[in-house]
A and B are shown apart, each in its own frame.
Chain A
């Protein structure tokens, strides 16, 4: 546990110190900022609040995660391989599982920090809105929406981490992560919304992160979805542990 903590601390620090972190933060915060601004414009035009949380935690923002997350995860193992520090790490008494867990947790912390402004926007909206009709009726949907982006983000990070563990080239890690996430995202999206067969559409809705994020941000917390994400994430992390244990050159 002590080993995990020192690895985790180091991971969080490296995450926030890397220049790519600032680029990622800048773009994600511009995007979420614009998104919030757009929401305010819509509300000012007399739109209802019905879709507001969905727009904050789902919708177009979902697409940006496909790029953002691989950019966060690309360096995790690829950089260690490149520098050769994976060798010095794995010749100390730590285990590959501790290392993978620490890297996952470190990236998840960074990812959560990325979302903090969105949380702040919702509070601002709640507290400063002069008209009661424009205040969020309750924080339940917001909490569920936040849970949704953390679950989906966790899975994305696990996938990106696995891709990073397979190569010593960060660009390759980022692009393969992006490719895999896009396949997962778009195939289930098209299944859920455009497939002609209702059965396929149903399966798509069970699997699509896009659909899940919309559900979560509507306040619909489905335990099946939670189990799905946690087990997917665990599987990808397990695969990454196996890769780190076996791929040593």
Chain B
């Protein structure tokens, strides 16, 4: 669906996107992650043909964006980051205007408008003036606009930014429903969103794609070691020296809790080493009330990937 090869974008003061290549298959939902200023929006703007690139090639649905920008735009539904709308227009007016611009023919227009309004929960606000709608509704109007011409590819730049948790959940549900019919590329820096929606994650940092894989694979690649948390009843210094002296274990953190309990965070070569810790506690006669392996959050992975990439430069 999308084929990006060697795309570079320079702005006067900086290199925004640096020789980026990736592909998105038809029907995929891809989450585009990155810190602020990493080049997410710039990349998306180049995909929609809004910004020209300095080098490289972008193909959408088999059309080269430099040669057939019109054909590409016909196939893309784009929700820009700030969700720009005309505040003085009514919802119905706006959707009709956008449908006309995107070449939705008159006989189908009415039905299409009703369909996207229902999908986005806008049926009751068709007559309302956009400027008087809440942020959540405006976001839905933007989303409805991006769907109105039934595009093959949806490009959503931070679709849930500025929404309350309930609205975020609604938008997320909507995006999930849409994934049956559309290929979706969505950018965000809200990580639970990506975990909840996306099949594949692409992380961009300082203009470069630093990772592109499923969430599980990303974790697996990054975290060769595992983090074990342990709480035992023993003398802190003794525990630290004993466990720290074992092969393949490092104490990251240790602190004394109330009533003689000690909490430890241990970096171990594998999670199987929990057995050794248990055996140690048994032989030493330490009471043990917790021994768990930490789950890696996407947040850890994200921070680590972007930090590694930053350090490498």
| A and B interact | yes
Interface residues of chain A, those whose CB is within 8 Å of chain B, are 2-3, 6-7, 10, 14, 17-18, 83-85, 87-95, 248-249
CA distance A87 to B82 in the complex (A): 10
Is A91 touching B50 in the complex (CB atoms < 8 A)?
A: yes
Please pick, from A14, A87, A92, the residue contacting B84 in the complex, using a CB distance under 8 A.
Answer: A87
Q: Give the secondary structure class of B's interface.
A: loop
Instruction: Give the total of B residues in contact with A, Cβ under 8 Å.
Output: 26
Residues of A near B100 (CB, < 8 A) are 2-3, 6
A85 touches B84 (CB 8 A): yes
User: Which one, A14, A87, A94, contacts B101 given CB within 8 A?
Assistant: A94
Contacts of B101 in A (CB 8 A): 3, 6-7, 89, 92-94
Please tell me if B205 contacts chain A, counting CB pairs below 8 Å.
no
Q: Which residues of B contact A (CB under 8 A)?
A: 11, 45, 48-52, 70, 73-74, 76, 78, 80, 82, 84-88, 97-98, 100-103, 145
Q: Show 20 A/B contacts (Cβ-Cβ < 8 Å), sorted by A.
A: A2-B103, A3-B101, A3-B103, A83-B87, A84-B82, A85-B86, A87-B50, A88-B80, A88-B145, A89-B101, A90-B50, A91-B73, A91-B78, A92-B73, A93-B70, A93-B74, A93-B102, A93-B103, A94-B101, A95-B70
**Within the assembled complex, what's the spacing in Å between the Cα atoms of A14 and B131?**
14
Task: Looking at the assembled complex, report how far the CB atom of B154 sits from the nearest CB atom of chain A, in whole angstroms.
Answer: 12
Q: Are B50 and A92 in contact (CB under 8 A)?
A: no
In contact, A10 and B97 (Cβ under 8 angstroms): yes
Once the chains bind, are B51 and A84 in contact (CB under 8 Å)? no
* Given A2-B100, A248-B50, also A88-B84 (CB < 8 A): yes
Minimum CB–CB distance for A84 against chain B, Å: 3
Is A92 within 8 A of B88, CB to CB? no
What is the distance, in angstroms, from B39's C-beta to the closest C-beta of chain A? Answer: 14
A91 to B75 alpha-carbon distance, docked (Å): 10
Interface of A is mostly: helix
In the complex, what residues of B have CB within 8 A of residue A91's CB?
48-50, 73, 76, 78, 80
CA distance A87 to B279 in the complex (A): 64
Residues of B within 8 A of A17 (CB): 88
Which residues of chain A are within 8 angstroms of B80 by Cβ–Cβ distance? 84, 87-88, 91
Distance in angstroms from B11 CB to nearest chain A CB is 8
A85, A88, A95: residue with the most chain B Cβ atoms closer than 10 Å: A88
Residues of chain B with a CB closer than 8 A to A10's CB: 97
Q: Which residue of A lies closest to B79 (CB)?
A: A88
- The residues of A that contact B102 with a CB separation of less than 8 Å are 92-93
Distance between B241 CB and nearest chain A CB, rounded to angstroms? 59
CB of A1, distance to nearest CB on chain B (Å): 12
Q: Which 3 residue pairs across A and B have the least CB separation, nearest first?
A: A84-B84, A6-B100, A91-B48
A22 CB → nearest B CB, Å: 14
Chain A hits for B78, CB < 8 A = 88, 91
Nearest-neighbour CB distance to chain A for B22, whole angstroms, equals 20
Name which residue of chain B comes closest to A79, CB basis. Answer: B86
B-side contacts of A88, CB under 8 Å: 78, 80, 84, 98, 145
CA separation between A87 and B45, bound complex, in Å?
9
How many Å from the CB of B206 to the closest CB on chain A? 19
A7: B residues at CB distance < 8 A = 101
**B161 vs chain A, min Cβ distance (A):** 13
Nearest-Cβ distance from residue A219 to partner chain B, whole angstroms: 42
When distances are taken between beta carbons in the complex, the residues of chain B under 8 Å from A84 are 80, 82, 84
Contact of A248 among B51, B76, B97 (CB under 8 A): B51
Chain A residues near B70: list those with CB within 8 A: 93, 95
B11: chain A residues within 8 A (beta carbon): 249
Docked Cα-Cα span, A91 to B48, in Å, equals: 6
User: Which chain B residue has the least Cβ–Cβ distance from A87?
Assistant: B80
In Å, the complex CA distance between A6 and B49 comes to 22
Query: Closest CB-CB distance, B40 to chain A, in whole Å?
Result: 15
B86 & A83 in contact (Cβ 8 Å cutoff): yes
A residues less than 8 Å from B52 (CB atoms)? 248
Which residue on A lies nearest to B146, using beta carbons?
A88
Least CB separation from A98: chain B residue? B101
Residues of A within 8 A of B85 (CB): 83, 85
Residue of B nearest to A81 (CB): B84
Nearest Cβ distance between residue B82 and chain A, in whole angstroms?
Answer: 5
- Bound: A17/B90 CA distance, A: 13
Q: How far is the CB of A85 from chain B (nearest CB, A)?
A: 4
| A247: min CB distance to chain B, Å | 11
Which of B74, B88, B97 is the one whose CB lies under 8 Å from A6?
Answer: B97
- In the complex formed, the residue of B with least CB distance to A14 is B88
Residue on B nearest A90 in the bound complex, by CB: B50
Other A-B pairs, 15, CB within 8 Å; known A91-B48, A92-B101, A93-B102: A3-B103, A6-B97, A10-B97, A14-B88, A83-B85, A84-B82, A84-B84, A85-B84, A88-B78, A88-B98, A91-B73, A91-B78, A92-B73, A248-B45, A249-B51
Q: Considering the chains assembled together, what is the distance between the CA atoms of A84 and B41 in angstroms?
A: 13
CB nearest to A86 among chain B residues: B84
